[in-house]
Structures are given as C-alpha cells and as structure tokens.
Amino acid sequence: MANSMWQQTEEMAKKHDQGGSLWLKLAGDGDKAVVVFLGEPHPREVAFVDGKYVEVDEKMKAAGTKASLRVALNVALYDSKEVKVLEQGVMFFKDLVRVREKYGLEKWAFEIQRHGAAKDPKTTYSILPEHQLSVEQQKAFQALPQHDLAKLYSGEGDSGGAKGGQSLDSYDKKSDAKGDGTVAPNVAQGLVTALKALPREATDKFLAKFGVQRIKDLPTSQVEKARAFVEQLQTESAAPAAAETEVDPFA
C-alpha cells in the first residue's frame, strides 16, 4: 500500500506540474502523458543561434546554416482535456506518421513516454495506443479549442509566453527562462549546485567569464555556454595535478 501511495502521489505531482503551462512537459527519463492529438502539425526549419531556436530563411541556408526540423502539435490531456502544445523533432514525427497510418490519431488516446535524461542527446520517445475512443469521445476531443500554432510561434498569440509580442521557442529552451530575461530558478540552482562542488576559484572564473555578480543574474542567452563552461571547469578540477619532476642537483 505504501508503495502504491508513493506512486499515486508522484503522478499527482506531475499533473500539477503540467497545470498552467502551455507546453506538454516530459522533462525527465520515464515521464509520460496520455494524450489525444488534435488538428494539423506546425513544422519549422530552425537552427540554434545565440541560445535559442530561430527559423532558418533562404539567406541563412545560402550562408551554410544547417537547419533541423521542429514540429509543434496540439494535444489534449486524456484525463483533463486540457490542450497543450507538444514540440518534437523529425524522429518523433516519423514515428507519429507510422502510428497515424496504423491506428488513426483521432480514434485513440496515446501514451507518450520519454526515454532519456534531461539534455541527453540520445533521448527517444515511445508512442503507444492507450485508450480507444468512442465516437462521442472523438467528437468531444476534436471540438476542443486549439492553440493557433502559427500565431504562437510568430509572437502574435496571447497564450503562455507569447504575450507582449515575444515569439515562442521550444519548451526545452523556454523552461530555462524567467520573464525578466534571466535564467529560471531551477536552472540557476543547477549551476549553483555544480559550482559549489568545485573549488571557490571555479565560481570566480564563472562570474568573471559571464560578467555577472550572482548566478541567478545570468542571461537566458548564455545558458548553454554557461553549462558548457561548468563542464569545462569540472574537467579541469578532476584532472590530476602534474607530478613535479624531482631534479637531482648533484647529477
């Protein structure tokens, strides 16, 4: 019974974490959600520039910028019918196309599960049919109001982080940011924890490198560079000191 209640409470906590956010969050290994896919996909060709995704135009392509495909979809949570935005890459979309051809997206609620830790480049997602929907359920889900994905990504939408004319990047990048342009508290805390495990001079180097007095003041555009620099500091700290060669003065 104890283990069951732990599991139930963990699932409830994850549901509350989803509340109020525009994005469907599957941030950690094993995280899952049961959803119904709605409407049409919204594809973008993007590149990661200055700490965020930007859409790649013909001029950038001509200059040699390598583009990757990001696809946004409206999904409704099966239990609550709350509509979220799910953004994924080309491999997920290819799997989704196969699932669509076999089952039909409007006829089923699907379980999406993440396999891979946060920031793991080898992360994959599974898409499995979970609940077959009745005709009445299909109509109810497809009648739900959907986010206008084109407007959201152009900065014209009025949901989530798009207020004030700000364009929306992927959830992975948005989750690193606060509204004032500095890193989110959880991101800052991760950097603090890593730096506290190193000698004090590592923190001094970090602050000097990014021109801030407090880690929580780090601009969102510097998050990826900051993480890379912390990894560099960790490597330097772990490297064994070069052994001094003893020279015999009488040799």
In a domain? residue 250: no
Whether residue 58 sits in one domain with residue 104: yes
In a domain? residue 244: no
Whether residue 233 sits in one domain with residue 208: yes
Find the distance separating the first CA and the last CA of the chain, reported in whole Å: 76
Query: What is the C-alpha to C-alpha distance for residues 7 and 2, in angstroms, rounded to an integer?
Result: 9
| pLDDT for the residue 15 | 55
Query: Which of the listed residues 129, 144, 169 is the one where a domain comes to its end?
Result: 169
In a domain? residue 247: no
| pLDDT for the residue 144 | 95
Query: What is the C-alpha to C-alpha distance for residues 170 and 115, in angstroms, rounded to an integer?
Result: 19
| Total residues belonging to the chain | 251
Whether residue 94 sits in one domain with residue 133: yes
Whether residue 190 sits in one domain with residue 143: no
Whether residue 130 sits in one domain with residue 61: yes
The tens digit of pLDDT for each residue in 136-162 reads 999 999 999 999 999 888 765 544 433
Summary mean pLDDT of the chain: 80
Burial per residue of 231-251, b for 16 or more beta-carbon CB atoms within 10 angstroms, e otherwise:
eebeeeeeeeeeeeeeeeeee
* Residues ≥6 apart with Cβ < 8 Å to 122: 116
Q: What mean pLDDT do residues 221-247 have?
A: 70
Whether residue 196 sits in one domain with residue 113: no
Query: What is the C-alpha to C-alpha distance for residues 158 and 137, in angstroms, rounded to an integer?
Result: 28
| pLDDT for the residue 241 | 46
| pLDDT for the residue 17 | 53
Query: Which of the listed residues 169, 194, 228 is the one where a domain comes to its end?
Result: 169
Whether residue 128 sits in one domain with residue 38: yes
In a domain? residue 141: yes
55: amino acid identity, one letter: E
Among 193, 199, 192, 191, residue whose Cα is nearest residue 241: 199
Domain count, the chain: 2
Partner residues linked to 44 by β-bridges: 70
Tokens of 24: 């469907």
Whether residue 70 sits in one domain with residue 36: yes
Burial per residue of 125-161, b for 16 or more beta-carbon CB atoms within 10 angstroms, e otherwise:
bebeeeeebeeebbeebeeeebbbbeebbeeebeebb
| pLDDT for the residue 74 | 97
| pLDDT for the residue 4 | 72
In a domain? residue 2: no
Q: Strand, coil or helix: what is 52?
A: strand
Query: Which of the listed residues 140, 169, 198 is the one where a domain comes to its end?
Result: 169
Query: What is the C-alpha to C-alpha distance for residues 137 and 34, in angstroms, rounded to an integer?
Result: 15
Evaluate if residue 129 carries a pLDDT over 70: yes
| pLDDT for the residue 168 | 41
Whether residue 155 sits in one domain with residue 46: yes
Q: What mean pLDDT do residues 166-184 have?
A: 53
In a domain? residue 206: yes
The tens digit of pLDDT for each residue in 82-127 reads 999 999 999 999 999 999 999 999 999 999 999 998 878 889 999 9
The tens digit of pLDDT for each residue in 183-218 reads 777 778 878 888 888 888 889 888 988 888 888 888
- Please say whether the beta carbons of 231 and 223 come within 8 A: no
Domain range for 29: 21-169
Whether residue 189 sits in one domain with residue 139: no
Evaluate if residue 171 carries a pLDDT over 90: no
In a domain? residue 93: yes
Partner residues linked to 75 by β-bridges: 37, 84
The tens digit of pLDDT for each residue in 12-64 reads 555 555 545 688 988 889 999 999 999 999 999 888 776 667 888 888 888 88
| pLDDT for the residue 230 | 85
| pLDDT for the residue 231 | 82
Whether residue 129 sits in one domain with residue 54: yes
In a domain? residue 11: no
Whether residue 26 sits in one domain with residue 103: yes
